[in-house]
Amino acid sequence: MDERYSRQILFDGIGKAGQEKLSNSRVLIFGCGALGASHAETLARAGIGFLRIVDRDFVEFTNLQRQTLFSEKDARERLPKVIAAKNRLKEINSEIEIEAIVADVNHSNIENLSAGCDLVLDGTDNFQTRYLINDACVKSKKTWIYGAAVSSYGATMTIIPNQTPCLRCVFEELPPVGSAPTCETAGVIQPIISVVSAFQTTEALKVLTRNTKALHKSLMQFDVWQNDWRKIKLHQPNLDCKTCGQRNFEFLEAESAEFSAVLCGRNAVQIAPSKPANLDLTDLAKKLENLGKVKQNEYLLRLSVDGYELTVFRDARAIVSGTDDVATARSVYAKFVGV
């Protein structure tokens, strides 16, 4: 073990004792797209003893430009991302334990999925899931590291419940449905993934080796194209925060802000936000026009893309045709409408 990790052990912040701590650590990564796969590779190479990776998607050719763990073969075989990731990670480090879980994380399974892990890393692509992670981690007093990247922009912060502000202290409410850009609508370049993942995984190494003084204690924002880097210092948690101040974990409740998804007819799933929204369909049509065939009238917008037909209504409800799998429909909705 010492030889494999010798350069890391030589590093002052880690040393032999730190390496021992890493090999006894259990880390959970939600999402195995560009960010999640990058976190997984770094932490597997660093010798984290146990990695649990959770994701609901399959590898596609459009992923290969930035999701560095995956190959053309994985995309041809449409392997679940966590399975393709585990196969590759085993080749990189056969000495650690990797648990790959194909699942759509939601209020009913998040607490079980988090059980037994010391630290949670965000590799998801939507705010809905991040609020859920925030609720679950604050409730169980588990440190988690938020990270997001789209276009050439990214952000990250490390959340230690009761010690630092939580995600909801900083972003009080979910952005309106359809307002946030996604990698599908705004594109993304790989270097911003590397930057955000580098900060998240470095923070993870600090947390796991108990180097808490070295944490950056800020909301970090980067734009690798505009050459803009910001570090917004974070202070105390907000006492009025619904999550960490009032301990009201509404995203963990079944009837909360979570999207409901129900099978409707043959090969179609309806997705509906619990709070009605008012979508600007013309604006959404503009974002989607280069991705597939878009038709729009006063009441609805229809997008044909990747073998699915997505019909979006002004109240943000949508019907995804071409699948009878709820997780797939939620994923299509998150990518093309954005949550």
121 binds Zn ion (CB under 5 A): no
Q: Nearest to residue 256, comparing CAs of 165, 134, 145, 163?
A: 134
Does residue 268 bind Zn ion (CB under 5 A)?
A: no
Q: How far is the CB of 207 from Zn ion (least distance, A)?
A: 18
Dist CA 332 CA 59 (whole Å): 14
Site for Zn ion contains 269 (CB under 5 A): no
The reply to whether 244 sits near Zn ion by the rule CB under 5 A is yes
Residue closer to Zn ion (CB basis): 166 or 193: 166
Nearest to 151 by CA among 123, 192, 180: 192
- Least separation in angstroms between residue 144's CB and Zn ion is 12
**Under the criterion CB under 5 A, does residue 133 sit at the interface with Zn ion?**
no
Spatial neighbors of 313 by CB under 8 A, at least 6 apart, are 279, 299, 300
CB 137 to Zn ion: min, Å = 11
Q: Is the separation of the CB atoms in 256 and 107 below 8 Å?
A: yes
Q: Which of 85, 241, 284, 310 binds Zn ion (CB under 5 A)?
A: 241
Q: Which is nearer to Zn ion, 165 or 178 (CB)?
A: 165
How near is the Cβ of 141 to Zn ion at its closest, in Å? 13
Give me the numbers of helices (H) and strands (E) for the chain, helices first please.
Answer: 12, 14
Among 253, 243, 242, which residue's Cα sits nearest to residue 106?
Answer: 253
Contact between 130 and Zn ion (CB under 5 A)? no
For the chain, the first-to-last Cα distance in angstroms comes to 43
Q: Which of 136, 166, 192, 220 binds Zn ion (CB under 5 A)?
A: 166
Binding to Zn ion by residue 168, rule CB under 5 A? yes
Q: Backbone phi, then psi, for 94, in 5-degree steps?
A: -85, -5
Residues at the contact surface with Zn ion, assessed by CB under 5 A: 166, 168-169, 241, 243-244
